[in-house]
Amino acid sequence: MITLYTSSSCSSCRKAKRWLDTNNIPYREKNIIGIKLTRNDIMNMLKYSENGFEDIISTRSKIFKESNLEPEEMKFSELANFIIDNPTILKRPIIINDQIMQTGYNEDEIRAFIPREFRKFVVCDECKDDCEYKNCIKQAMQEAKKEI
């Protein structure tokens, strides 16, 4: 299952949600402003990052600039607590499944969240419901629901 960390004021978050909805890809949304992040959320974000906190912290954020934060000099627990207390320091959206993480919205890179068995089909945004890809996704979702 995909977890999508968002904030309501984020246009890139809205694009990511729209793309996932359009392509019938299920996800669980966590609004970082509306919920309190946990250490598990932070660990989930870092699990697939290549550069640790550098991949999820926005150095352009107001809170980062005002705090004179030096992530390299902080213990993990200190930095995790800082993020939990100041979630707007995170890049958005953060998209995670059980294999990869993506920060920000990138139309090409987000396609990695298409289930592997459906990547061979062309994703088209122009057609309505008469699309081989969308029909396959719908069928797969129906079969998955039967298994649950």
Host domain of residue 136: 115-148
What mean pLDDT is predicted for residues 33-56? 94
79 and 26 in a single domain? The answer is yes
Q: For the chain, how big is the Rg over CA atoms in Å? A: 17
| CA–centroid distance for 73 within its chain | 27
**What pLDDT score was predicted for residue 128?**
58
Indicate which residues carry an active-site annotation: 10
99 and 40 in a single domain? The answer is yes
Reply yes or no: is the peptide bond before residue 93 cis, omega within 30 of 0: yes
Q: What is the mean pLDDT of the chain?
A: 87
102 and 147 in a single domain? The answer is no
Tens-place pLDDT, residues 97-139: 999 999 999 988 998 998 776 666 545 555 555 666 667 777 7
78 and 148 in a single domain? The answer is no
**What pLDDT score was predicted for residue 24?**
85
CATH number at residue 87: 3.40.30.10
**What pLDDT score was predicted for residue 126?**
57
